[in-house]
Amino acid sequence: MANPAQGYESYMVPTLFGPRARILVQAADVKPGERVLDVGCGTGIVAREIASRLGATPAVSGVDLSPNMLAVATAAATRMGLTIEWREGNAEQLPFHDAAFDLVLCQFALMFVADKAAALSEMRRVVTGNGRVLISVWQPSIAIHFTKPYTTSFNNAWECQPSSRSSHLAMQMICADWQWQEDFDK
């Protein structure tokens, strides 16, 4: 394969990332009309799962650093007849306006981001005040290790936001057969 992302889509998505995406999307409980962002989308399996569930006019976006992954994501979505906005970008500087999304999802990507606190702050910035952020990680030990710094990062991001947006934020980390959730209310 000329593009390694095609191998990722052909072998890893059906066996690992697709089944985990369905679990993440089910936990997200996406509603019609919600605007959704998939951060570190890779070949877009989470975004495609969301768009498939939302029907004809989904407002779904995916962002990834890799143009190769985005090329495969675009082709796969086109084959499925799905409309998804794909953008090349960094989780540490998301290329979207403040409060642009009702739901932000991140499946198996946060651990690869150099500045996790910046990425979490960016996720907070682009989600609405009543929005939800769900992050899927590899295993409970990773989530437990990261929970405290992530909570601190989210709290710091939350406190930096204007009070008009400080109504509610829920962050959830999802692992195989294990979940952690914390509500950030002021």
45: CATH:
3.40.50.150
Question: Which residues face 162 on adjacent strands?
Answer: none
Phi then psi dihedrals of residue 134, to 5 deg: -120, 130
- Structurally, the chain folds into a number of domains equal to 2
Q: How far is Cα 120 from Cα 19, in angstroms, rounded to an integer?
A: 24
Instruction: Give the pLDDT score at 181.
Output: 45
Location of structure tokens 């009543």: 130
Does residue 8 fall inside a structural domain?
yes
Do 164 and 111 share a structural domain?
yes
Task: Give me 20's structure tokens.
Answer: 């985990």
Q: How far is Cα 94 from Cα 97, in angstroms, rounded to an integer?
A: 8
Instruction: Give the pLDDT score at 56.
Output: 63
Q: What is the pLDDT of residues 129-160, one digit of tens each?
A: 889 999 887 655 444 444 444 444 444 444 43
Query: Residue 1's CB: how many other CB atoms inside 10 A?
Result: 9
Does residue 94 fall inside a structural domain?
no
Do 115 and 66 share a structural domain?
no
Low-confidence ranges of the chain (pLDDT < 50): 141-172, 174-186
Q: Say which DSSP state 56 is in.
A: S
Do 76 and 104 share a structural domain?
no
Mean model confidence pLDDT for the chain = 78
Q: What range does the domain containing 158 cover? A: 100-186
- b/e map 46-57, b = 16+ CB within 10 Å: bbbbbbebbeee
Does residue 29 fall inside a structural domain?
no
Please tell me whether the overall predicted TM-score, pTM, comes out greater than 0.85 for this model. no
Last residue of one domain, picked from the residues 89, 121, 156? 89
Phi then psi dihedrals of residue 175, to 5 deg: -125, 175
Do 104 and 85 share a structural domain?
no
Q: How far is Cα 25 from Cα 7, in angstroms, rounded to an integer?
A: 23
Do 173 and 108 share a structural domain?
yes
Do 108 and 79 share a structural domain?
no
Do 71 and 114 share a structural domain?
no
